[in-house]
Structure 1
């Protein structure tokens, strides 16, 4: 009798230990999955440049003591040039550079037809006087009008936008805060691309632009040409420069590409400097970019 009881107890103890061991293994697995999420994002960006030549460039004079970074990519040579490479791989809000995607999505989904397309101005008087009108697509893009592109995005809809972002590998593809985080006073001046859920790195910006303008996306050549015309910043007989600014809260972007007869280089300039908020703007980022490109 004593031996039988001992045997029963022994079996029960073994079963308990096995169950505890399984629970610990499952917990460990979950912790591992969670801890690997940020690492996976960084590895994806590392893979982007894994078969390319890479160089670090000194652009301190161009940035003039403003904290920021730059990445330039030549598809022809499969070559990346970085200024502050680590910063170029950090995901941040795209701000108004996202209007590049808004234009294409609106055109592809029939919300917009060409550069003359208008949305419904509701008569609101905005602090930015340039927005107080029934704007065309060309005017809205050049004046970076938030309410116009908020209407475009809302009309296209969440499912289609999500699908397009995933196809483009646009940063974290996170549109969960569809209506934004209320950084601006009215609802039609907020959205997921303005200091909210969507984030993208300068390196990823360059890859998205290359995907679009090298004909690797699903967007039509007609709509890409309309966007390209909207993005033209300056031109001469040797070179054309295309781009879009974006800014907010001491952060600023200028992303785009330069084009010659037989070559195209993509770039992203990003500034983030809380100590110089008054001087940080999309215009400043563009000035830095043009200095770099034209030298």
Structure 2
């Protein structure tokens, strides 16, 4: 079981529903986010789950809540989400991204407050920009991206990442640099790769989780010299031996070497 993906299993209980025929998306784009190739359903909005840690990191570094890759180191507290043993330890920004520690994200958004959180999401033009949260619960500040209102399509993910890597988001350059650092993946043929997984489930008509319909994300970019390629891959399929997010990442890494040669 990957330590990176599990927020979706506990917290990403999703309110989105799609036709049974819906398929995942393969999307490769240039450094501005303009698609070079796409296959499957790439325009439907899905909950971002842990891929939302990318904009959260940008917010955290730009606002001063996050300092660098190792600070702040925040202690686990009783009552924090603790499904994984890795979540029950003192957490740094790097560890937060690697292990997808839910409570660390929530400390950040609570520190930002509703108004500033919404302002960042609006300025990023991130998906549907809806931070209302679950109906009647007023929990958008800590749950919007996990279990309720916020949605983004693969095409919108590519556009957002294009603005990130081309320096067009309204955040400090250091925020982009530190966010990139904690997203670093293994290099491929001299390309520096950055990415983040996300994992969740669709919901049924009665609002319960449909565990037969998981959602997996892997999104990011690869850079080599003055070249940049953005990738977004979603897996919408029946559950198997791997979590959908693990499958999305592994499938993307298997395809990426050939894509980067094109």
| TM-score (norm. length: structure 2) | 0.78
Q: Does residue 191 of the first structure (1) align with residue 155 of the second (2)? A: no
Q: CA deviation at 1:92?
A: 0.8
Where is the helix percentage greater, Structure 1 or Structure 2? 1
Q: Higher relative contact order by CA 8 Å / sep ≥ 6: 1 or 2? A: 2
Number of equivalences: 222
**Map 1:1-295 → 2, pairs under 5 A:** 67-75=23-31, 78-84=34-40, 87-116=41-70, 117-124=72-79, 126-177=82-133, 191-236=143-188, 238-249=190-201, 250-273=214-237, 275-276=238-239, 279-295=242-258
Q: CA deviation at 1:281?
A: 2.5
Unaligned stretches of 5+ residues in structure 2? 1-21, 202-213
Larger Rg, first or second structure (1 or 2): 1
> C-alpha deviations, 1:213-271, integer Å up to 9, x for none?
10111111111110111111111562111100000121110000011112001111111
Where is the strand percentage greater, Structure 1 or Structure 2? 2
Does the 8 A contact of 1:107 with 1:113 survive in 2? yes
Unaligned stretches of 5+ residues in structure 1? 1-65
| TM-score (norm. length: structure 1) | 0.69
Query: Could you say if the C-alpha distance between residues 123 and 289 of structure 1 is closer, same or farther in structure 2, counting changes exceeding 3 Å?
Result: same
- State the 4+ residue runs in structure 1 displaced beyond 4 angstroms: 76-79, 178-182
Does the 8 A contact of 2:32 with 2:162 survive in 1? no
Q: Provide the alpha-carbon RMSD of the alignment.
A: 2.6
